[in-house]
Chains A and B, each alone.
Chain A
């Protein structure tokens, strides 16, 4: 383990002060990803600023009828928080599908957004990786790339974002509230994570020195017709090969509004308004779902070992849409896919 300095932040302003002007410092909360990366010497902070004692642990109603989730609310607390389970069940379901209960007990809401890719080459400091060492090359293109992206890739990086929670937050159109030396701002969820382009070292549009303070959910929760379906190599405690978060608003069998996003296929949750518009006003059936999946995956491109993901993603999405339309969402304890 590398050696580093350690300090506790006493309040949000103090954390901002401590992180500003110290590019070698990192914030730590749950630590489940950062400490793992520090052990591998992928992350080498000179200083850790412990923010676990900051007052960002509440889930509160917003005046507009939504919920504001403090950045330090633990994943397990959020997944079982009654208003989340009742009003935003797709979010509760997605969280329960990720990691293990021990890790969810540590991991925080803000930290989940800031997870780094689990690409094996990113973790392996003996191999080139543009995300870890910009300009060194991508070992996954032409390497073992079964787990890698099929959408939004670049010649510099084909890594995927590992979060399940973020796939649900994408369709809920959450807002990420951040603060920094130049003040507060909020970032639409679709704009929070980045595609790799030629700067894969930047996962998000959070500026250096900014801190996530909360994630806000708008009122619309799709509590009646939703599903989070995750396909992986074993039934629990594994990252997604592909996953789909779905929310539908139905009028009888007619789709008034559809929102869906894929996980495990890109550098960020993959959502496309054109694919969702293809379902608007259409009957909720397998044929229309398949057409929407074709639109969503129209630019998908496989690499040597992951081309199977294209068809798997299409089928996963159609199945999740079917589950949502029937009002029979995927269970995260019974693994039978109905």
Chain B
């Protein structure tokens, strides 16, 4: 049997930053737009909206993905973490602290995506050297060119996690 739905207002239950939310979403709305417009979590940024810049990176079930290139309705039951969900009881996540320590941004627009992507990178455990960090962070573009400090911040956070 197939489940079929009318194309408006489909039910969606997700756990967002540890809180279970039941929503009604149109199937053509991206996860990015649900986060920003419906849940008012505007930390996640819309850069290119085409999967080319990484500003919209969030963690779905612990894996980093581009939230602009996926429909929210596909993630019923998923756990989603955005930059707003990284701090614990008001204490900054080690990556957030490291980005401050290393001045790893200028305008800051790419920063939430950079930090969520770096959290995914550390969880994957595949990057050890600066070279490997650069390669596996290449999906996050920083138009201000803060890359050197971003790599240093990630190295600091890796050392602490």
Contacts and interface: CB of A to CB of B under 8 A. Distances in A.
A100 B73 CA distance: 23
A36 B73 contact: no
A105 B30 CA distance: 17
Interface string B19-40: 0000000111110000000000
B161 interface: no
Given A100-B54, A102-B54, A333-B132, A36 B69 contact: yes
A308 interface: no
Contact of A31 (B4, B70, B135): B70
A31 B51 CA distance: 11
Residue among A1, A4, A101, A332 with max Cβ neighbours from chain B (10 Å):
A101
B7 interface: yes
Contacts of A1: 28-30
A101 B136 CA distance: 6
Interface in A30-53: 31-32, 35-36, 39, 48, 50, 52
B88 interface: no
Interface in A61-107: 76, 80, 99-103, 105-106
A105 B10 contact: no
A4 B70 contact: no
Contacts of B4: 5, 7
A124 to B, nearest CB: 13
A4 B7 contact: yes
B27 to A, nearest CB: 4
A103 to B, nearest CB: 6
Contacts of A103: 51, 66, 69, 139
A18 B65 CA distance: 28
Contact of A52 (B5, B50, B65, B74): B74
A9 interface: yes
Contact of A4 (B28, B74, B139): B28
Interface in B106-161: 117, 120-121, 124, 126, 129, 131-132, 134-136, 138-140
B91 interface: no
A236 B135 contact: yes
A17 B1 CA distance: 10
A126 interface: no
Contacts of B74: 28, 31, 50, 52
Contact of A334 (B2, B30, B131): B131
Residue among B4, B28, B117 with max Cβ neighbours from chain A (10 Å):
B28
Given A31-B71, A333-B129, A100 B63 contact: no
B2 A7 contact: yes
B27 A4 contact: yes
A106 B66 contact: yes
A100 B53 CA distance: 10
B23 to A, nearest CB: 15
B24 to A, nearest CB: 13
B50 A39 contact: yes
Interface in B57-86: 57, 63-66, 69-71, 73-74
B138 A36 contact: no
Contact of B65 (A4, A10, A28, A105): A105
A48 B10 CA distance: 14
Contact of B138 (A3, A39, A236): A236
Interface in B1-16: 1-7, 10
Given A48-B27, A334-B131, 15 more contacts: A3-B26, A5-B4, A5-B5, A5-B27, A6-B7, A7-B2, A9-B2, A28-B71, A35-B30, A76-B124, A80-B126, A102-B54, A102-B64, A333-B132, A333-B136
25 contacts: A1-B28, A1-B29, A2-B28, A4-B28, A8-B2, A9-B2, A31-B69, A35-B30, A35-B69, A35-B70, A39-B49, A48-B27, A100-B139, A100-B140, A101-B124, A101-B139, A102-B51, A102-B54, A102-B139, A106-B65, A237-B139, A333-B131, A333-B132, A333-B135, A333-B136
Interface of B: 1-7, 10, 26-30, 49-51, 54, 57, 63-66, 69-71, 73-74, 117, 120-121, 124, 126, 129, 131-132, 134-136, 138-140
The 3 closest A-B pairs by CB, nearest first: A100-B139, A6-B27, A236-B138
